[in-house]
Amino acid sequence: MSDQNAIASDLAATNDRNFVVIFTLASLFFGVFSPLVGYFVAKDGTTTRKQIVELLNFQITVLGLMLIAYLLTATLILSVVGIPLAIIVGVADVIMLILGAIRASRGESVRYRFTLRLLS
């Protein structure tokens, strides 16, 4: 009986990891919408929910920084700052999401740097 429980818990842990990895990689294409869907789908109090909240906070931060970059680019004088900022934020977003997906696939907890923790 304990073997069945161990197999079930391993399967649940694998499903949770896959869930986080899928939503992390989907964020590359859908931005903030992917973790937002995951936020409503994941159960409260689970590790998966905590990882999805971390991902959602990161994507909200990236969205805010991109909006600032685009507003700076809209003004001709500050486009010197806005264009490099948009490039840096975009590249950092892709790199951080790929690293986050790799960590999540290993079962590690993912904590994104430079993130505003708006949701908990």
Q: Tokens 């970059």, residue? A: 69
Confidence (pLDDT) at 119: 86
Confidence (pLDDT) at 3: 57
Q: CA 49, 53, 59: angle at the middle one, nearest 5?
A: 145
Q: Tokens 């490039």, residue? A: 87
Give the model confidence (pLDDT) of 14-44 as tens digits.
788 889 999 999 999 999 999 999 999 888 7
Distance CA 44, CA 48 (A): 9
Contact call for residues 58 and 34 (beta carbons, < 8 A): no
